[in-house]
Amino acid sequence: MTLTVTRVTHACVLLDFGGRRLLTDPWFSERRGYYRGEPLAFPPGALPELAGVLVSHGHYDHFDLAAFAAYPDHTVPFVVKRGLAAQVRAAGFANVTEVDPWEQADLGGLRVTAAPARHSVPEVSFVIEGDQAVFFGGDTLRIAELDEVATRFGRIDLALLPVNGLAIRPAFNRQVVMTAEQAAGLAGVLRPRVAVPIHYAYTAGPLRDRLLLRYDGTPERFATALGAAAPATQARILEPGEPFTVNGAASPPLPGSPGQ
C-alpha cells in the first residue's frame, strides 16, 4: 500500500494511505494579517473523499472551518485537540473526537494518536498509522516530550515538521514554533525515512511582519541541517499540489525501540 503526501498549503496536508485520505489543519481562505505566501493547491470543494480531518490547535491558519464548510460531506469525522469540538459542531460537522497526548482515535481504519506539542495556545501533534506511520508536527516548538514519539512508535516513515521558527515581537520575541535547525534535530530523534518541511511561506503582511512577527527558518535551511542531524532521512521540499509517494517498503524498527 502506498502513502502519498500532498501539501495543500502551509500546514494543511493531504495524506493518502492507499485510498484512505486524511486532511491536516485545514486552511483555505486568507484574511488581513494571514497570507499563505504560496499557492493553495485546491479549494475544499475539490478535495477527494476524506476519511477524516485532524486539527492540532485552534488558530485560524490551522482551523479554518468557515472555508472548509464548502467540503460537501459534513459527516466527515474530525479528531481535534481537546477543547475545540464545540466549534467543529457549530460549523456543521457533528462527528468530532477530542484528544490530548497519547489518546487515540480510529479514522477509517487509520489509527490516530495525539502526541505532545507546545505553542502559544493548547496544541497536540499527531501520529497516523496505516501501513506506514506519519508524524504531523502542526506548528509546535521543539519540546523534549516529543522524544517520546520515537520510543512509543517503532518506525516513522514520514515526518511533517514546521520550520519557520515564528516568534512574537511584542512578547519579547517569544518563540512559538521550532526553527529549521530544531526541526532537523527532532528528525534526528524520530528518524523518519522522509521528512517534509511545512509551515514556512506564511506571512502576516509587510507591516505586521515588521511590527509583530519574526521568522527563523526556511525549508532550504531545514534540508541542509537535516543532512547533519539525520543523514539517513531524505528531505523533500514539496510545492503545494505536488504529490510525493513514500514507497511502501517497511524499514526496520529503531534499535532499542519496542516496535509495534
Min separation Cβ 191 and Zn ion, Å? 26
Q: Least distance to Zn ion from the beta carbon of 231, Å?
A: 30
| Contact region with Zn ion (CB under 5 A), list: 41-49, 58-66, 105-113, 179-187 | 58-66
For residues 222-241, one letter each, b for 16 or more C-beta atoms within 10 angstroms of the residue's C-beta and e for the rest, the string is bbebbeebbeebebbbbebe
- Contact with Zn ion (CB under 5 A) among 16, 129, 139, 216: 139
Q: In whole angstroms, how close is the CB of 59 to Zn ion at the nearest point?
A: 4
Q: Which residues pair with 13 in a beta bridge?
A: 7
Q: Does 59 bind Zn ion (CB under 5 A)?
A: yes
**215: CB partners within 8 A, 6+ apart:** 164, 165, 166, 167, 200, 209
Alpha carbon 62 to its chain centroid, in Å, reads: 9
Q: Is 16 in the site for Zn ion (CB under 5 A)?
A: no
Smaller CB distance to Zn ion: residue 146 or 230?
Answer: 146
Residue 33 class from Cβ within 10 Å (0-12 exposed, 13-18 middle, 19+ buried)? Answer: middle
Q: Select from 119, 190, 202, 121 the least CA-distant residue to 164.
A: 202
78 in Cβ contact with 101 (< 8 Å): no
**At residue 115, what is the residue type?**
A
Instruction: Report the nearest approach of Zn ion to the CB of residue 49 (Å).
Output: 28
Q: How far is the CB of 153 from Zn ion (least distance, A)?
A: 24
Q: Which stretch binds Zn ion (CB under 5 A): 31-39, 56-64, 109-117, 237-245?
A: 56-64
98 is an interface residue for Zn ion by CB under 5 A? no
* Interaction of residue 157 with Zn ion, rule CB under 5 A: no
Q: Which residues bind Zn ion (CB under 5 A)?
A: 59, 139
